Structure 1
Amino acid sequence: MSGEKKPPIWKSFGYAFEGIFTCIRKERNMKIHCVMTLLVILAGFIFHISATEWCICLTLFGLVMALELVNTAVEAVVDLVTSECRPLAKIAKDTAAGAVLIAAIMAAIAGLIIFLPKGIALFLG
């Protein structure tokens, strides 16, 4: 263990928020996740979803965005280590992106399960 002193907790939070905002500014997919999050929140208020449905939505927002942050970190580290097209670098980048894709697809399916019946009821209602 190194003798480095850890930064105060407020600085650690500052670094974390800096990472989040950097990802939002620089990554197209994170911008898409943010827009979708806002649309789902709006739909949640319009359709008066239950507390359980809100918890599901919030958990899925967090999961997808957290994985996007990890994916961005993996891509940055791989790019830092090599600029060549190397098989292991490709595996690292592709599997990290795949994790985000799986979470986003599952979130979209859960969203359809929550919102589609409410939309149909409103349309037919």
Structure 2
Amino acid sequence: MKTNYHQANQSASIPNPYLNNNFIPRSGQVSEGNNPSQREYAWQVASNLLVSFRYAWAGVRYAFVSQRNFRIHTLITLVAISWGLFLRVNAMEMAIVTLTCALVMVLELINTALESVVDLTVGQSYHDLAKIAKDCAAGAVLIASIAALLVAAFIFIPHLLG
């Protein structure tokens, strides 16, 4: 039986940033040390652009800390960009490699968000539609990953052979 991140975190050493007082409290909850009149709700619009970026970065950090596949995709992205620089691919090829890698990482973030919402909705129970939603989101990441691998092969192999 697959456990969700919050269950696994009880025995693991990986911190859950959303349960940390430095992050956004859950709706209606007040972080320790915060004035109740200053509490932030998850459903509120960010007060300014910098706050929006902080929330977005918190999501990326959460995925990096909690999702093994996101860490793998991050490493592969760094390797692909490094290869592009080492092989001195042209700007258009580098842009294509970067965009395909970014697509994989964006889909991994969407997959993580969808899995979290499904887990929140169904809890510990099993539902066929929850499985379909999670499997389809994971399938989207898989297809994008295969496409990114093909793009990298089409771009890097001629540079390696020539």
Flag whether TM exceeds 0.5 (same fold): yes
Of 143, 147, 152, the match for 1:102:
143
Gaps of 5+ in 2: 1-43
Q: For the residues of structure 2 that align with 1:21 and 1:80, how far apart are their CA atoms?
A: 20
2:160 corresponds in structure 1 to 119
Q: Deviations over 1:5-51 (max 9, x none)?
A: 64211111100011001101110110110110111111111100000
**Structure 1 position 64 matched with structure 2 position 108:** no
Of 7, 10, 23, the match for 2:50:
10
1:92 corresponds in structure 2 to 133
CA root-mean-square deviation: 1.2
Q: For the residues of structure 2 that align with 1:59 and 1:6, how far apart are their CA atoms?
A: 28
Partner of 1:91, secondary structure, is helix
CA contact (8 A) 2:114 2:134 kept: yes
Q: Which has the higher contact order (CA 8 A, sep 6+)?
A: 1
Select the structure that is richer in helix.
Answer: 1
Gaps of 5+ in 1: none
Segment of structure 1 superposing worse, 104-113 or 54-63: 54-63
Q: Deviations over 1:40-91 (max 9, x none)?
A: 1111111000000011011112111110000000000111111212100001
Of 29, 41, 54, the match for 2:81:
41
Question: Under a length normalisation based on structure 1, what TM-score does the superposition of the two structures give?
Answer: 0.89
Identity %: 42
Partner of 1:22, secondary structure, is helix
Of 65, 76, 83, the match for 1:25:
65
Decide whether aligned partners of structure 1 residues 88 and 45 sit closer, same or farther in structure 2, where only a CA change above 3 A counts.
Answer: same
